Amino acid sequence: MKRFLLIALGFLLLSNTLAWAGLAQQPDSLLQQADRMLSYKAYGRAIDLYTQLLSTPSLTVDQRATVQANLAQAYQAIGDNVKAERTFREWLTTIPQGQEQPAVLLAYAQTLVSNGKYAEAQVQFDRYQLIRERARFRLPSPIPTSSQGAPAGRRDPVRYQIEDLDLNSPNEEFSPMFYRDGLVYVAGRKGGAPIETSGSGGGAGYLDLIYVVNRGMLNARRRFDADGEPIKETPGTNATTQSKNPWLVGQDYYTRPTSNDSRTPVGFEAGINVAQGLGYERNAVDLAKEFSRTLNTRYHEGPATFSADGSRIVFTRNNYSDGKAKTSAENVNKLKLYTAQQANGTWVNIEELPFNSDEYSVGHPALAKGTDGTPDQLLFFASDMPGGFGGTDLYVSKWTNGKWGEPINLGPTINTQSNELFPFADENGNLYFATDGRRGKGGLDIFFAAMDGTTVESIETIDAPINSSGDDFGLITDGSRRTGYFSSNRNGSDDIFRFSRQSSLYGCRDLTIRIYAPGTDVPIDSATVLAKGNRTGQTDQMLMVDKNGFVRMCLEAESDYTFTASRDGYVNATVGFSTKNLTDDQPSRLEIPLVPPTVIIDTVYAMPEATTRRPARPLTNSRIKGIVLSEGNGAPIEGVTVRLKNECNGAIVKTETNADGSYEFDIKEGCDYTLIASKPTYGTSTSRVRKLAKKSKPDELMATPFRMLREGDVVTMDNIYYDMGNASIRTDAARELDKMVATMQHYPTLVIEIRSHTDSRGDAAVNKALSTRRARAVVDYMASKGISRSRMRAIGYGESMLVNNCTDGVICTEGEHQRNRRTEFKVLAIK
């Protein structure tokens, strides 16, 4: 399973330093942050925070169990089922017996299935089923539970307005499908509900496919806001009209009329029962007619799906072909999938699909594009064929070499021990479906499955008022879920509703901030951005920009934010941003410029002359000026004692560096000089100044900057990178290591720790071993250049100290991963 990038979410990034500080003081706060990352599907950041939490002994037993459960589900979400299984096992040993959450047990069972451990998976499924029955609720939601006991989903639900359409009648209308500019849906006489989860139902007529030519002409007889409250209509505002007589397929401009276009009521004593299959079985067949090449017959037709160009239909029908109806060994007339082509305005060549059977039902088709974008390459459908997980499962078949391939069960991530029905694939290849096997509002509820081809990556419920206490199913929409249609029996019979989205689809808004220098437009790296929200309970976030000056985060809806960018040597800059009233789902971007501070020159006199700049000291003698900087971070060092020794007469003068690390001395021409810089806890550094030739006018020299080390400094060796999985010293790395050899020779008492790091890819233990080999390779190289091994320590840190956001679950370029494969040295001792 590929690592997650879901729904254009951006990722909220947390400072590791702040996280560790919060860990020691406020584990509850850090747990809330981790839960928030999980709810936003920022799985890499969630895994990092949960892992940190597990390393502290201050967690209570309940907190540790919650962390383990959520960490395991985060691993499962990114497809790392090995780590997920290990963490689920740890969770089981932590949580008291009898207190296991059913949702976590179900996720554990699904992970075991993915790892091929079917016997163990069955044990966990049975435990899950037992707890579910004891608790007397149907099935839990797969959404993990937060530390506060609430579902760890979006903070704010997606808001929809829905419309009850005028096409609805006392009969049944359900399962719409887009066709050309109209809708094709299923309709039948009033009776037992066409979709029932229990009971035998009452009498009903058979179901046919109905066609509305222009869906834009459909009227709404009632509208409801996102809270389910009726919207009062202003007279005259609903000007659209619709046909009072929906078109039957076979009564339109491209299909010739047939005898079936005038329906004759027929008996249907058994009703329709989901628990017995896909919904259209009957116990006797006494109304079979001679086979017709038109789609509607005297048996059930629908739901249906159409190819992208509208030339092919795949539809559901009772087991009826060649003028005869067939039954199973139990004398049940099952459902099958049929396909037909349009030729000269007529549907022709009606054929069964190859995986139909007399012994089980196959129905509810949904065509989708393939992973390469090829239209109509995948066919999703529902079936109760043997080998599934419950009553009816969702399957997929792939069009290969001119035929449909063997169906593949979509697996326990989507299928439950109950019924999954009515799939629909949007233009992005993601799947909507209905199920009564997950906790929802009641009856059948509609869920969304993010898909990677035929792999289910994640599942989430659709918010009210689309889902209700009744049966809700058969949703169709565009790739952004801006508008669409669905079916519901909330009015007492199955009706079709239209919906429009009134808020952002995602729980957070993707924002990219760029920090740059105005005028040059050069990105500023190593800057930090402090994000503050104004809503109660929001936690301030401190984030570090990358080497290109970018940082990404995901912002909560309906909030006002301020962002303060800062970096040493620059003036802080603050900008605001609001997510209030934003309904589009497009990512946003902010540009924040950072400017260096205005240099203020000391003045000679007090007021009022204070605004006058002090003139430079007259150059009566030649002069040497310099600056002292930290080797660790390049910052100027104040209070360094700098001595100047005249090699002609041995005289020594001294001064101390200013706040900007600067110093200066007057010198005489014709003598060599030595500069010595020293400060407690720093290594003493020296530099030679060659004699200055005598000139008619005094001259001013700039000395090479002193760079001083002190105990505790950590310095990254530039360009000490490695090829992935390799510990060999590259040619470009050897050149940089030669500079480190020179530093060791310059500081004869310097003792250092060689620290090697890897990127996050691969197993953490393997990475730690690899980084240790790399550190030792550096020590071996420097020892070959004459540096004593007693002055060097080799330590491998693996992937534990990344310099950017490229953790597990985050997609990064090779260059970004290479930044983590680095070597540093830390000063352990120096004189």
pTM for the full predicted model: 0.47
Tell me: do 347 and 213 sit in the same domain.
Answer: yes
Which residue range(s) make up the domain with 83?
Answer: 16-135
What are the backbone angles phi and psi of residue 166, rounded to the nearest 5°?
Answer: -70, -15
Tell me: do 680 and 733 sit in the same domain.
Answer: no
User: Is residue 135 over pLDDT 70?
Assistant: no
- pLDDT digits 0-9 by tens, 543-601: 888 888 898 888 877 788 889 998 876 778 888 888 776 666 666 788 888 887 644 33
Question: Which of these three, 135, 150, 173, is where a domain ends?
Answer: 135
Q: Peptide bond preceding 412: is omega within 30 degrees of 0, i.e. cis?
A: no
Residue 601: strand, helix, or coil: coil
How many CB atoms within 10 Å of residue 482?
14
Q: How far apart are the C-alpha atoms of 212 and 33, rounded to whole Å?
A: 50
Q: Could you give the dihedral angle defined by the CA atoms of residues 772, 773, 775 and 777, in that order, rounded to the nearest 10 degrees? A: 170
Residue 190 contacts residue 204 (beta carbons within 8 Å):
yes
Q: What is the pLDDT of residue 483?
A: 93
- pLDDT digits 0-9 by tens, 495-550: 999 999 887 776 677 788 999 988 778 888 888 899 888 777 777 888 888 888 89
Tell me: do 388 and 515 sit in the same domain.
Answer: no
Q: What is the pLDDT of residue 423?
A: 96
Q: How far apart are the C-alpha atoms of 689 and 647, rounded to whole Å?
A: 10
> Among the ranges 296-310, 547-561, 639-653, which has the highest mean pLDDT value?
639-653
Nearest to 462 by CA among 139, 162, 74: 162
What are the backbone angles phi and psi of residue 111, rounded to the nearest 5°?
Answer: -65, -40
Question: Does residue 145 fall inside a structural domain?
Answer: no
- pLDDT digits 0-9 by tens, 245-299: 444 444 443 343 333 333 333 333 333 344 344 544 433 333 323 323 467 666 7
CA atoms within 13 Å, Cβ hemisphere of 528: 14
CATH code of the domain in which 199 resides: 2.120.10
- pLDDT digits 0-9 by tens, 380-434: 999 999 998 878 999 999 999 889 999 999 999 999 888 899 999 999 889 999 9
Q: How far apart are the C-alpha atoms of 736 and 129, rounded to whole Å?
A: 62
For residues 712-731, average pLDDT? 68
What are the backbone angles phi and psi of residue 86, rounded to the nearest 5°?
Answer: -60, -40
Question: Which of these three, 480, 501, 522, is where a domain ends?
Answer: 501
Task: Report how many domains make up the chain.
Answer: 5
Strand 706-708 with 622-630, pairing:
parallel
Tell me: do 387 and 518 sit in the same domain.
Answer: no
CATH code of the domain in which 661 resides: 2.60.40.10
Question: Does residue 140 fall inside a structural domain?
Answer: no
Lowest mean pLDDT among 179-188, 260-269, 453-462, 618-627: 260-269
Question: Does residue 75 fall inside a structural domain?
Answer: yes
Q: How far apart are the C-alpha atoms of 187 and 494, rounded to whole Å?
A: 9
Question: Does residue 142 fall inside a structural domain?
Answer: no
Question: Does residue 11 fall inside a structural domain?
Answer: no
Q: What is the pLDDT of residue 466?
A: 93
Residue 145: strand, helix, or coil: strand
User: CA distances (Å), 563 to each of 66, 69, 553, 570, in order?
Assistant: 32, 33, 11, 16
Q: How far apart are the C-alpha atoms of 189 and 627, rounded to whole Å?
A: 91
User: CA distances (Å), 256 to each of 182, 263, 407, in order?
Assistant: 19, 16, 34
Strand 751-756 with 823-829, pairing:
antiparallel
For residues 741-768, average pLDDT? 84
- pLDDT digits 0-9 by tens, 117-129: 877 877 887 777 7
Lowest mean pLDDT among 97-101, 138-142, 343-347, 472-476: 138-142
Question: Does residue 151 fall inside a structural domain?
Answer: no
Q: Which residues contact 380 (CB under 8 A, 6 or more apart)?
A: 365, 366, 368, 394, 395, 396, 410, 423, 425, 431
**pLDDT band at residue 71 under the 50/70/90 scheme:** very high
Q: What is the pLDDT of residue 821?
A: 79
* Mean pLDDT value across the chain: 75
Q: Could you give the dihedral angle defined by the CA atoms of residues 220, 222, 225 and 227, in that order, rounded to the nearest 10 degrees? A: -140
Tell me: do 275 and 334 sit in the same domain.
Answer: yes
CATH code of the domain in which 564 resides: 2.60.40.1120
Tell me: do 318 and 455 sit in the same domain.
Answer: yes
Lowest mean pLDDT among 43-47, 144-148, 696-700: 144-148
Question: Which of these three, 501, 519, 554, is where a domain ends?
Answer: 501
**pLDDT band at residue 304 under the 50/70/90 scheme:** very high
Q: What is the pLDDT of residue 831?
A: 63
Tell me: do 179 and 68 sit in the same domain.
Answer: no
Strand 420-425 with 431-435, pairing:
antiparallel
Question: Does residue 305 fall inside a structural domain?
Answer: yes
Tell me: do 175 and 32 sit in the same domain.
Answer: no
Residue 527 contacts residue 515 (beta carbons within 8 Å):
yes
Question: Does residue 298 fall inside a structural domain?
Answer: yes
Q: What is the pLDDT of residue 174?
A: 92
Tell me: do 338 and 276 sit in the same domain.
Answer: yes
Tell me: do 564 and 636 sit in the same domain.
Answer: no
Tell me: do 446 and 533 sit in the same domain.
Answer: no
Residue 456 contacts residue 389 (beta carbons within 8 Å):
no
Q: How far apart are the C-alpha atoms of 220 and 811, rounded to whole Å?
A: 45
Greatest CA separation found in the chain?
124
Tell me: do 210 and 313 sit in the same domain.
Answer: yes
Torsion over CA: 12, 13, 17, 23 (sign)? positive
